[in-house]
Structure 1
Amino acid sequence: MADERVAALKEPIDVAEYLFKRLHEVGVRSVHGVPGDYNLVALDYLPDCGLKWVGSVNELNAAYAADGYARVSKFAALITTFGVGELSAINGVAGSFSEHIPVVHIVGCPSTISQRDGMLLHHTLGNGDFNVFANMSAQISCEVAKLNNPAEIANQIDHALKTCWLRSQPIYIMLPTDMVQSKIEGARLATPIDMSEPENDPEAEDFVVAEVLKNLKEAKHPVILVDACAIRHRVVEEVHQLVDKTNLPVFVTPMGKGAVDENHPNFGGVYAGSGSHPAQAKEIIESSDLLLTIGALKSDFNTAGFSYRTSQLNSIDFHSTHCIVRYSTYPGVSMRGVLRKVIDQVDPSTLSAQPSPVVENEVEENLDDSPTITQAWFWPRVGEFMIPKDVIITETGTANFGIWDTRFPEGVTALSQVLWGSIGWSVGAAQGAALAAKDAGNGRRTILFVGDGSFQLTAQELSTMIRHKLNPIIFLICNDGFTIERFIHGMEAEYNDIHTWKNKDLVKVFGGEDTCKTFTIKTKDELNELLADEDFQAAQTLQFVELYMPKEDAPRALVMTAEASARNNAKLE
């Protein structure tokens, strides 16, 4: 029967080749992961499909790197082996699920025969259950595809990839060893996967559009607030068209940073409740009688400890799967179609548009007489160092909160993990982001800001950056431990301390002594001199900067959010 099936194929192709050519089709050029005996034969197919094997130092870092790669290139692939490998990656994949990042997780697994017979194999729990790990990953995947039947595999792959794109979340593909070289129909590759979004029901969409237009016309102080899912679900172009057409003031949340050109005259800064910058942003948003939110994710850290003071009665929320007009929810009406019709139909002359506050990098305002580098001075200062189209990665903690006070140049892509908040994520993500920029060949600089505590969790990924000749600028903030945890609880607690490393020496340890540059910066003058250096600005090689700041200094937004988090943790009911 199998021979008859293969004979009926127009263009027989191996499953692994089909899968990897589809990955290349959707934009993947480098594949992250760690080799294991259940995926080795599949890995042999990568070069002939136009894909480069990255090879991270462990699966967790590989998952973080795939996450960063997808945020820059829009799609990523991760390959691990059954059980031990995939479980090491699961935290990173869960972060991608939480934050709406399209990552394809391919797991090489025992053959279908071994699974059928319940064989006692290595990397299993020894109980004959070969679905247990897939069941775990089902909770953090928008699609699970077990490639067990050659007659179904091509459909499964195409459907899973489309789902990954439309949902902007990870998918899990289980690839048995005996399916890797099984033949399926290759003629399908001549037709690209249809990634187009389903159209909204016209009647429902038109009703929502009419409601939006009516509320806009009646409002005296309407404003726009852009959040993470505007980026994740690819409506940034519509956002800018809406701002240009309506001339309304526009703000971003911390997770939405980078979604709006921060040099646009209508850009008013970061709104995060009590953590807003500039301070006028909070006043304008919370006094508005109509707030248009686009892609909102109102998590605790994204709202500076749930410190929003806005009313749903005055809000219209646009989401990827529904829209909410005041207290009425319209399921199945996605934001893209609604936004496009609003842009086409709105009459700017009928709108009341107030001016936006001026947003600047407030370097002089935060300058003191001390040579010490303070958080308040540092973040506006590095804002002046950034150039258009930089890729900026900030670790959850000090850097993530400090960047709120940095005004970006045009075209900056900002990566942060505000919702999932896994310590150490940024180092792997920076590797993936830098690789995505290199694969695109666009010369974009990649700049990472990470604390010394976070760095210790994933420092090995520095080795992968050196191996692939990536050129990130790494600012390692040395302030003696886990600053964000100190401000939540235990300023002097031993559990928030770390052992002091000679961090920049790791560049030498990992083989970058002859190709990379390292710096130790302890004063404002030293930092100013470094940032003004043309070779440093050019970022032609990996540059590692040990940057020293006081232990008990933190960005103002971190202090406020940490206090709110401590209060939430202490609540009894």
Structure 2
Amino acid sequence: MATMTIGDFIIDRLKALGIREILGVPGDFNLSFLEQIDAAEDFRFVGTCNELNAAYAADGYARLHGVGALLTTYGVGELSALNGIAGARAEHVPVVSIAGAPPQYATEYRWNLHHSLADGDFDNMLDAVRPFTEVAIRVSPMNVVGEFDRALRTCVREKRPVHIQVPSDITHLEVTVPDTPFTVDPPTSDAERRHAAVEKFLGAFAEAERPLFLLDQDTDRHGFTDVFRRIIDRAQIPYAHMASAKAQLNERHPLCVGTYNGAASAPGVREKVEGSDFLVTTNPRFIEVNSGNFTHALPETGVVNFGDQHMVIDNEFIVGINTLEVLQDIAAAVPEAQKAPAEPVSAPTYDVQPDKPLTQARLWPRIANFIDEGDVVIAEAGTSNIGLGPQRMPDSVKYINSPIWGSIGFTLPALMGAMLADPDRRHLLFIGDGSFQLTAQELSTILREDLKPIIFLVNNRGYTIERFILGMEREYNDIQDWQFSQLPKVFKADTSMQTYSVSTEGELEKVLEEVSSCGNGAFIEMHLDPFDAPKALQGFGPATADFDFGPRGPRNP
């Protein structure tokens, strides 16, 4: 056993998860802990402009690293972050949220304090956060070691956020902690169940005539992607993905059949998925936007579903397994198939028309040509994500979006978090002007941290996705038109980030040539017609109006 302060213990545990930055906003109830962070080695606090942005950034950090961390203060801070924490819950992203809480004596004696409702109730904040987290607790010196370890293991294993309140007067108190290395690794499988799962998979696969993998978010969240790639390549099994699992595997590979979205699927994809007699899934979650308004219909038989600790095959539920172990066994044992000669899907051809104004129909195929293998592509909900959706991403692209929670403004802070987690990769952000205005101030933190992303801002003077749902020309869908390309120098006068404003294909082409080899980062404002939209959005808007408003509700003319 070893002795250390509670603050140092918390830092030590976060470092054991590989976390090197905790994002957040200072407040009087977390300043004691911040002093300990400031003194720590290989661990630092990155201050954001507000708590919501910090939560988004911690989510982005976790998308690249596997887990992220967030620090706020009691009440005003933790509730400000709650939308981002809820988004992490919806998207199955493990985020450790820590909030400095009032001193332990003040909560026990129910004092009326600032940042509270001044009624002596110190449970209401945890009650508010609890539905959106897997664990929500306030620790004390007597339970912090066990409870903090439990929260971290739950966060990482269940791929859900957790929230821990730490009273401000305990962080410098010493506690006894185990001197064994901390680990969140799951236990090994029951040997018989592991063997049975592998044999059942291989037996069913041997009888299949139309096998296919269907990827969703949990493929990535539970670390299945690489082993799926090995199984698919070895056995030459076709694969599709849901819109919520874009680019998890190479979309230009000959075995990739495309995006499954119910009746709104790409041509031929629906028939392959719904006609499969051996369909491998990973707990797919269908909502209206990734199911063609609930027109999905997976096969009733022949589905093999993997969770991180179970497998379902032929309606048999196999538990007691570490699924990664099972998948590794399958990858080693699945029969190797001869690779059929096939050409990969090439990026769309694009002939520049220099004087032609930028349009949604031609912009996104050009962007697809700009994206390289290994890029991190971050797409804001709305025009950017819908425009990039049909474009096939090259191999090893990390695609970050929020298809389920869909909170606009998420992506700019998420970009910052992702870049802190993996600064050596090229990061491309695609964000609309309306979404950007919600979290614009975090650009200043990106510049302060000397991060060098390429930011594409789609300026169509308002909420295009909302226009096509309702209110095409209504004032409520308009926003103030900022001089966006000047903002980097407003936030940091000596920034090295290059800024551009383009309206034509020729202007964009010149900029893309410059920034492809530029190491300083770039902010590219792209001007498009406010009543132009990707083809998929033009259909999505009226369908959403039908779904949302009922037969007697309003519609666009």
Shorter chain as normaliser: what TM range? Answer: over 0.9
Task: Find out whether 1:375 has 2:365 as its counterpart.
Answer: no
Instruction: Kindly report the root-mean-square deviation, in angstroms, between the aligned alpha carbons of the 2 structures.
Output: 2.5
The alignment partner of 2:445 has SS state of helix
Shift in Å, 1:554: 2.1
Shift in Å, 1:176: 0.2
Confirm or deny: 8 A CA contact 2:353 2:505 kept in the other structure.
Answer: no
Q: Which residue identity lines up with residue 360 of structure 1 in the other structure?
A: S
Q: Distance in 2 between matches of 1:562 and 1:246?
A: 40
Confirm or deny: 8 A CA contact 1:318 1:334 kept in the other structure.
Answer: no
Matches within 5 A, 1:529-548: 529-533=510-514, 536-548=515-527
Instruction: Classify 1:571/1:200 alpha carbon distance in 2 versus 1 (closer, same or farther; 3 Å).
Output: farther
Q: Distance in 2 between matches of 1:414 and 1:484?
A: 21
Q: Distance in 2 between matches of 1:307 and 1:496?
A: 30
Matches within 5 A, 1:487-502: 487-502=468-483
Task: Please point out which of 542, 545, 550 is paired with 1:566.
Answer: 545
The alignment partner of 1:312 has SS state of coil
Uncovered stretches (5+) of structure 2, i.e. residues with no partner:
552-557
Question: How many percent of aligned residue pairs carry the same amino acid?
Answer: 36
Shift in Å, 1:26: 0.9
TM-score normalised to structure 1 length? 0.90
Shift in Å, 1:172: 0.7
Task: Find out whether 1:408 has 2:400 as its counterpart.
Answer: no
Task: Find out whether 1:257 has 2:238 as its counterpart.
Answer: no
Task: Please point out which of 74, 86, 99 is paired with 1:82.
Answer: 74
Shift in Å, 1:307: 3.6
Shift in Å, 1:203: 4.1
**Which digits, 9 at most, give the CA deviation of each residue in 1:347-381, with x for residues without a partner?**
345x9x999895332234x9889712222322221
The alignment partner of 2:47 has SS state of coil
Matches within 5 A, 1:118-517: 118-148=110-140, 150-186=141-177, 188=178, 190-277=179-266, 279-325=267-313, 327-330=315-318, 335-348=323-336, 359-364=345-350, 371-438=356-423, 443-517=424-498
Instruction: Classify 1:324/1:539 alpha carbon distance in 2 versus 1 (closer, same or farther; 3 Å).
Output: farther
Confirm or deny: 8 A CA contact 2:189 2:321 kept in the other structure.
Answer: yes
Confirm or deny: 8 A CA contact 2:354 2:507 kept in the other structure.
Answer: no
Q: Distance in 1 between matches of 2:205 and 2:187?
A: 27
The alignment partner of 2:268 has SS state of helix
> Comparing 474-483 with 328-337, which one deviates more in the overlay?
328-337
Instruction: Classify 1:378/1:94 alpha carbon distance in 2 versus 1 (closer, same or farther; 3 Å).
Output: same
Q: Distance in 1 between matches of 2:493 and 2:253?
A: 40
Shift in Å, 1:77: 0.9
Q: Which residue identity lines up with residue 35 of structure 2 in the other structure?
A: D
Confirm or deny: 8 A CA contact 1:361 1:405 kept in the other structure.
Answer: no
Uncovered stretches (5+) of structure 1, i.e. residues with no partner:
1-9
Confirm or deny: 8 A CA contact 1:60 1:92 kept in the other structure.
Answer: yes
**Which digits, 9 at most, give the CA deviation of each residue in 1:495-544, with x for residues without a partner?**
222121111222222124542211011111111221122xx113422311
Instruction: Classify 1:335/1:514 alpha carbon distance in 2 versus 1 (closer, same or farther; 3 Å).
Output: closer
Q: Distance in 2 between matches of 1:398 and 1:334?
A: 39
TM-score normalised to structure 2 length? 0.92
Structure 1 runs (4+) greater than 6 angstroms displaced? 353-357, 366-370
Q: Distance in 2 between matches of 1:304 and 1:399?
A: 19
The equivalent of 1:523 in structure 2 is 504
Shift in Å, 1:326: 5.0
Q: Distance in 2 between matches of 1:19 and 1:338?
A: 33
Q: Distance in 2 between matches of 1:210 and 1:485?
A: 50
The alignment partner of 2:244 has SS state of coil
**Which digits, 9 at most, give the CA deviation of each residue in 1:83-110, with x for residues without a partner?**
0010000000110111111111000001
Q: Distance in 2 between matches of 1:560 and 1:368?
A: 27
Confirm or deny: 8 A CA contact 2:126 2:137 kept in the other structure.
Answer: no
Instruction: Classify 1:312/1:562 alpha carbon distance in 2 versus 1 (closer, same or farther; 3 Å).
Output: farther
Shift in Å, 1:208: 4.0
Instruction: Classify 1:517/1:370 alpha carbon distance in 2 versus 1 (closer, same or farther; 3 Å).
Output: closer
**Which digits, 9 at most, give the CA deviation of each residue in 1:437-487, with x for residues without a partner?**
23xxxx211110000111111111111111111111110001121112222
Q: Distance in 1 between matches of 2:512 and 2:306?
A: 40
Shift in Å, 1:57: 0.6
